[in-house]
């Protein structure tokens, strides 16, 4: 007999795997807000047992009344667990095995694991539906912001036209601190390292991978497609200079690591790349480690959500939203519609046309600028603004803003530039997104 | 037999009362997105019948395949209606009668009627629960922003500490246009009248009543209290001058018609009043007719939601969110917890202490400023900043920013000022909210 067939006034019994920052936060909420949670969901929410790497570690919360399992898979299968709460992380290994074991046993699963869901979401959603179990992962995207609920439920009447988001707080912290303090990328990267803001593999943050996982999950829900992280265009913030930030500012823009997903006639477009956005737009105004997601629909126009993208309290708040839904008997498909109906959308061969910001260094030769302009023109790229800055050395920094340009044309022009002999190093091209 | 006991794959059958802006928007979505809605909710959502004041009027959508009722109460009771969608408006009369009739007949109700809910919400919620029916009203608060869902579901794990909102687009339009164009309140009021931005009784907008209804609804959900619109402190924007806006700007603030609800040891605090907020805060940055709601919880810290507060598409989007939830089998209590458990919270006798902005005109007499300062000091009010502006006439405009002050002390000081004989007219006092 399925656990959830028990009467709804029975306690909802959790098995929590992973007692790090988020797991500890969830335990604290369950202890502190037990009465409130019962009032709101109509039933007690209790922890049957927990699992973590080290049993002895002091986590600042009393755990001695809960059962203990060394193996999360054993926890996932316990008869006294209705909901398996996966807060270990990792796209493979024990997190995947335990999640699959839980679903196989017909348990509901609440997960904060963006990598696991971004890489294996459709299969897990199918497994959940076959077992008549629920799989939820609000905490996997944008921390405390209930963005999945907003998209899949609050905007369920909309054809979604675009999803945008700043969803890696570390990158936004680095970019806004570069602007505020005049420190360069390397200095801020080291500061983030000291402050513990970086993942063990920092490329997950600054390379846009972590944020790309989140974007792929939102795109799936927005457009009814099978999560396809492999086709997300990824570009990190490592090549962004102070000069880029200041020159973009001069022109009324700010630079953000921006995720954009939209469905076009050409296919699904998913990008997580540094973009210029209008400084006065909500995304342009976003400071520090805060996350922001912009949801656009054919009826609602535009909804903007802003909140903490990480941290024990906010992330645990998102985990609790899923747990409360399950306690209240809400049973929705993981990606907003039955897994079998999610389409394998073809990736768009190129992003939709947009203006681009180009930064390059020219050798101080007569006619250098004209040669660059000629290459751009020959490739069908029209120049909106061009600025050449004064320079002390032999290299002249040049900034160009193009009119709306198809990316393949831009790529052809960039490929043709070295042959002019006047461009030094690699030009930087950043999309200007109408945010 | 209750309608909803029908199999979940059966169509969900709506009766829509009111075919104005919002009603027309809902019909359009149901016609345009029928396939998508079925995919997302697992069942067809169909209109059985509609009702409106005038049958002949052209509403730009084909209605001939739907049944028609002249009387919304008859519509509410129709056997082929599962969900009664109330989009007529008005806190009494046909809207109230039809809503009660629908609940009495065990129908689910989706309403966009903020006045009805703010004045009769607890009784209607009790009636719904007695009938095992669902009552939802996402569209009643902040238009297209799914704020009720975010608060009651997305933040269900949080003890809510404060709810703030700019929830009347017309007022925010007037205030931001005054600043941008230098036109005064009266000129902008007339512009809004011309543009059709005002309710039939404009006091509902500029007097803060409409926004006060919305705040009272959010406060109920946030704090588990019975909606109590009668104890919302209301102050409109009619007394705000261009000078206030510019001087507030000089000091780094903007003026917003701001709703604030919080639960204190003294009781429930609910205010919808013009406040100064930091210009760089999300609320301070809000332009034009857009709405914004800030939700603060003990775990999530702060979530900010921004979106269109009115209009056919956005409001219909919110109505559709409720309808989709019902189609998906989501059955939650109207105010986030069972109606019988909502507390009748005592209203706080005074708002929590805060700094205040004071503007007054002094007669050009020696010692006038000293007399004002003496009255403030005698009432225990400490002055943070004071500015006297150059003046061509006999009256000297004076602006004072106080340190944190209990409102009763401020009221005592304001009452004592006329006796000084140096203050001309009524001083204006605006709270500075830490937004």
**Catalytic residue at B214?**
yes
- From A239's Cα to the closest Cα of chain B, the distance in A is 29
Q: For the domain bounded by B147-308, which CATH number is listed?
A: 3.30.360.10
Cβ neighbours of B35 in A, within 8 Å: none
Option in A146, A156, A305 nearest B155 (CB): A146
Q: CA-nearest residue of chain B to A330?
A: B330
Give every CB contact of residue B324 below 8 A, 6+ residues apart in sequence: A153, A156, A157, B37, B40, B41, B45
Give, in order, the Cα–Cα distances in Å from B148 to each of A307, B68, B142, B404. 17, 31, 9, 32
Best to test chain A binding among B12, B223, B300, B312 (most A CBs inside 10 Å)? B300
- From A139's Cα to the closest Cα of chain B, the distance in A is 11
Give every CB contact of residue A82 below 8 A, 6+ residues apart in sequence: A3, A4, A6, A12, A13, A14, A107, A108, A326
- Distance (Å, whole) CA B102 – CA B76: 5
Q: CA-nearest residue of chain A to B281?
A: A285
Q: Quick one: which of B387, B370, B432 has its CA closest to B407?
A: B432
Kindly state which CATH superfamily the domain B356-432 is placed in: ACT domain (3.30.70.260)
Cβ neighbours of B32 in A, within 8 Å: 298
Are A157 and B317 inside 8 Å of each other by CB? Answer: yes
Phi first, then psi: what are they for A46, rounded to 5°? -125, 155
Q: CA-nearest residue of chain A to B319?
A: A157
Option in B39, B150, B328 nearest A150 (CB): B150
Are A304 and B305 inside 8 Å of each other by CB? Answer: yes
DSSP states of B336-379 as a string?
SS-GGG-B-PPBPSSPPPB-EEEEEEEES-TTHHHHHHHHHHHT
Option in A307, A314, A330 nearest B330 (CB): A330
What single-letter DSSP state applies at residue B4? G
Q: Which residues of chain B have pLDDT under 70?
A: 1-9, 391-394
**Is the Cα torsion angle A18, A23, A24, A29 positive or negative in sign?**
negative
Cβ neighbours of B325 in A, within 8 Å: 153, 156
- Distance (Å, whole) CA B418 – CA B422: 7
Best to test chain A binding among B26, B34, B143, B153 (most A CBs inside 10 Å)? B153
Are A150 and B153 inside 8 Å of each other by CB? Answer: no
Cβ count near A125 (within 10 Å): 25
- Distance (Å, whole) CA B23 – CA B21: 6
pLDDT the model gives residue A390: 72
Q: Buried (b) or exposed (e) across A242-253, using 16+ Cβ within 10 A?
A: eebbebbeebeb
Are B157 and A282 inside 8 Å of each other by CB? Answer: no
pLDDT the model gives residue B4: 45
pLDDT the model gives residue B70: 97
Q: Residue B273 belongs to what H/E stretch?
A: strand B267-278
- A–B CB contacts, 8 A cutoff, strictly below: 185
Our CA angle for A292, A136, A23, nearest 5°, is 80
pLDDT the model gives residue B15: 98
Give every CB contact of residue B92 below 8 A, 6+ residues apart in sequence: B116
Q: Quick one: which of B405, B421, B409 has its CA closest to B372?
A: B421
Q: Residue B215 belongs to what H/E stretch?
A: helix B209-223
Option in A29, A297, A325 nearest B317 (CB): A297
pLDDT the model gives residue B200: 87
Spot the catalytic one: A114, A149, A214, A256.
Answer: A214
- From B151's Cα to the closest Cα of chain A, the distance in A is 10
ipTM metric? 0.95
Largest CA distance in chain B: 83
Are A317 and B155 inside 8 Å of each other by CB? Answer: yes
- From A215's Cα to the closest Cα of chain B, the distance in A is 19
Are A157 and B321 inside 8 Å of each other by CB? Answer: yes
Best to test chain A binding among B34, B148, B279, B299 (most A CBs inside 10 Å)? B299
- Distance (Å, whole) CA B121 – CA B113: 10
Q: Quick one: which of A48, A47, A53, A41 has its CA closest to A9?
A: A41
Spot the catalytic one: B96, B107, B149, B214.
Answer: B214
pLDDT the model gives residue A388: 85
Are B157 and A42 inside 8 Å of each other by CB? Answer: no
Kindly state which CATH superfamily the domain B3-140 is placed in: NAD(P)-binding Rossmann-like Domain (3.40.50.720)
pLDDT the model gives residue A357: 97
Which region, left, alpha or beta, applies to residue A383 given φ > 0 means left and ψ of -120 to 50 means alpha?
A: beta
Distance, C-alpha A127 to centroid of its chain:
24
Residue entry with tokens 């309290």: A313
Cβ neighbours of B301 in A, within 8 Å: 144, 307-308, 311, 313-314
Are A36 and B159 inside 8 Å of each other by CB? Answer: yes
Option in B307, B313, B325 nearest A304 (CB): B307
pLDDT the model gives residue A393: 65
The answer to whether residues B133 and B108 touch, using CB atoms and an 8 Å cutoff, is yes
The answer to whether residues A416 and A379 touch, using CB atoms and an 8 Å cutoff, is yes
Q: Which residues of chain A have pLDDT under 70?
A: 1-9, 391-394
Cβ neighbours of B329 in A, within 8 Å: 331
| Domain range annotation of chain B | 3-140, 147-308, 356-432
Phi first, then psi: what are they for B136, rounded to 5°? -130, 150
pLDDT the model gives residue B234: 97
Are A153 and B325 inside 8 Å of each other by CB? Answer: yes
Cβ neighbours of B153 in A, within 8 Å: 146, 149, 153, 321, 324-325, 330
DSSP states of B399-423 as a string?
EEEESSB-HHHHHHHHHHGGGGS-E
């Amino acid at each position: 007999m399925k656990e959830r067939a028990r009467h709804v006034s029975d306690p909802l019994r959790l098995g929590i795997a992973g007692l790090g920052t988020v797991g500890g936060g969830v335990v604290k909420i369950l202890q502190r807000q037990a009465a409130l949670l019962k009032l709101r969901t109509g039933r007690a929410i209790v922890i049957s047992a927990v699992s973590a790497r080290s049993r002895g570690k002091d986590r600042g919360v009393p755990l001695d009344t809960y059962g203990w399992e060394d193996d999360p898979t054993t926890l996932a299968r316990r008869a006294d667990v209705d909901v398996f709460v996966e807060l270990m992380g990792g796209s493979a290994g024990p997190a995947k095995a335990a999640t699959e074991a839980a679903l196989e046993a017909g348990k509901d699963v609440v997960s904060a694991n963006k990598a696991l869901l971004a890489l294996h979401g459709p299969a897990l959603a199918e497994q959940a539906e076959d077992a008549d179990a629920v799989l939820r992962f609000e905490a996997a995207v944008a921390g405390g912001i209930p963005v999945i609920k907003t998209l899949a439920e609050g905007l369920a009447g909309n054809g979604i036209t675009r999803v945008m988001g700043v969803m890696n707080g570390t990158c936004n912290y680095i970019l806004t601190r570069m602007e505020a303090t005049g420190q360069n990328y390397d200095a801020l990267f080291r500061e983030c390292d000291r402050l513990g803001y970086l993942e063990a593999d920092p490329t997950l943050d600054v390379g846009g991978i972590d944020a790309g996982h989140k974007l792929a999950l939102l795109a799936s829900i927005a457009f009814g497609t099978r999560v396809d992280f492999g086709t997300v265009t990824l570009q990190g913030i490592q090549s962004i200079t102070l000069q880029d930030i200041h020159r973009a500012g001069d022109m009324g823009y700010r630079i953000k690591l921006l995720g954009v997903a939209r469905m076009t006639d050409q296919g699904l477009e998913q990008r997580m790349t540094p973009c210029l956005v209008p400084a006065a737009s909500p995304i342009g105004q976003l400071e520090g480690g805060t996350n922001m997601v912009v949801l656009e629909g054919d009826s609602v126009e535009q909804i903007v959500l802003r909140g903490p993208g990480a941290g024990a309290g906010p992330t645990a708040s998102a985990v609790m939203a899923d747990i409360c839904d399950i306690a209240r008997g809400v049973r929705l498909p993981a990606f907003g519609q039955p897994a079998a109906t999610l389409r394998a959308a073809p990736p768009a061969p190129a992003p939709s046309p947009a203006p681009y910001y180009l930064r390059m260094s020219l050798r101080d030769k007569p006619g250098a600028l004209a040669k660059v302009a000629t290459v751009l023109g020959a490739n069908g790229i029209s120049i909106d603004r061009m600025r050449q800055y004064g320079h002390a050395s032999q290299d002249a920094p040049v900034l160009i803003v193009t009119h709306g340009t198809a990316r393949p044309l831009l790529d052809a022009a960039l490929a043709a530039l070295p042959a002019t002999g006047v461009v030094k190093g690699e030009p930087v091209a950043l999309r200007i997104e109408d945010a």
